[in-house]
Amino acid sequence: MSHPEEAIYQAQGMGNSSGMGAAPALVLVDFVVGFADPAHFGGGNIGPAIENAVALLAHARAKAWPVAHTRVVYADDGSDGGVFTLKAPSLLKLTETSPLSQIVPQLTPIPGELVVRKRGASAFFDTQLSGFLRLRRVDTLIVAGCTTSGCVRATVVDAMQHDLRTIVAVDCVGDRALGPHEANLFDMRQKYADLMTNAALMAA
């Protein structure tokens, strides 16, 4: 989709493709019950993103790609909450045993897949994800999940800063509001990641 300001980025040499490497992995960011529910953290196009991710996860498993899932998890007493939870105190509901913090049933992890518990936006910050990927010699990270403007974007930026070729599975990411979703997809494509649909990823 063309954007009226895209010419500015093109003139400055942005928006190039980093491409697909030889060793991809998939990370599914925060596809948990609370983010699937508009009454809690969901809404917008998160529901369709979850449904589209089912086929992407099946493809990753068939290709034996490393797979990681993330959950936001805080202590029952909120003692490990930080500034993120000052901005959004409702996140403290996402404890280890809360139904809201469980991965949605249609994307349930299987043995061998990493489940990352995180307290910040990025799947990389203060977690074991980078070690998991490095051990498996991953050079390309495909990112699905929610929200596009929040934890997906933070994960994408950190993936690029770990020198991973980074691809956003564009129909497998969602946000509670479409304006931030679209703006962040545009910005990530210009500076941090390639955007690919499910169909294109499976063909690649």
- Positions annotated as catalytic residues are 151
Phi-psi region of 195 (alpha: psi -120 to 50; beta: other; left: phi over 0): beta
CA distance 4 to 161: 28
Distance of CA 106 to the CA centre of its chain: 16
User: Hey, is 11 helix, strand or coil?
Assistant: helix
